Amino acid sequence: MHFSRYLTTAQIRLLDSVSSKKKTLETLSELLTSQSVALKARQVFTALFEREQMGSTAVGHGAAIPHCRITGLDRPLAALLRVGDGIDYDAADGLPVRLFFALLVPEDATQQHLDLLAGLATQLNEPVFVRRLLEAGSADEILGLLRQGAQEQ
């Protein structure tokens, strides 16, 4: 099971810039809640923000995986935000983050949560793969790259 299984082009947004970590999490929250009438963007933002307060979800190479578990959710939800300029996201490698892979999973889906994070982190550890995502011209191309990468794992 891979992150791309839960992603459609409607949940991928390509922006030239974003002003802050807060604005990034707000944008991701909106993309995530567009998939579920039961979730509210403020609820998701708060959960992602609280998780981020525990430690940065930046994984290096200009990527981050903001994630959390949500009570009442019946399936994983995913969203992707690519920011042209990138932002300071407290990454251990000091690089600005340009790719944000947001993931929500049901409260009791601990193993699924870990498996999805591990699969995505493995892909994002490949600099060539990350470069292709950054150079992709559309949401369709990004989704295709993610799905192709998931098959190669």
Upper half-sphere CA count for residue 84 (Cβ side, 13 Å): 6
Q: What is the pLDDT of residue 112?
A: 65
Token output for 137:
């011209």
Domain interval for residue 145: 3-152
- Does residue 67 have an active-site annotation? yes
- Phi/psi at 64 (5° precision): -140, 155
How sure is the predictor about 3, in pLDDT bands with cuts at 50, 70 and 90? confident
Non-local (6+) Cβ contacts of 131 within 8 A are none
Q: What is the pLDDT of residue 11?
A: 94
Number of domains into which the chain is organized: 1
Q: Which CATH number is 126's domain given?
A: 3.40.930.10
- What are the pLDDT digits (tens) for 73-132? 888 899 999 999 899 998 889 999 999 999 898 877 666 667 777 777 878 888 898 999
Residue 102's nearest CA partner among 61, 69, 127 is 69
Contacts 24+ apart (CB under 8 A), 32-40: 32/77, 32/78, 32/79, 32/102, 32/104, 34/10, 35/11, 35/77, 36/73, 36/77, 38/72, 38/73, 39/70, 39/73, 39/77, 39/104
- What are the pLDDT digits (tens) for 122-152? 788 888 989 999 999 999 999 999 888 766 5
Selecting among 2, 61, 67, 113, the annotated active-site residue is 67
Distance in angstroms (rounded) separating the CA atoms of residues 128 and 130: 5
Work out the average pLDDT over 32-56: 90
Any idea what DSSP says for residue 72? T
| Enclosing H/E stretch for 110 | helix 110-124
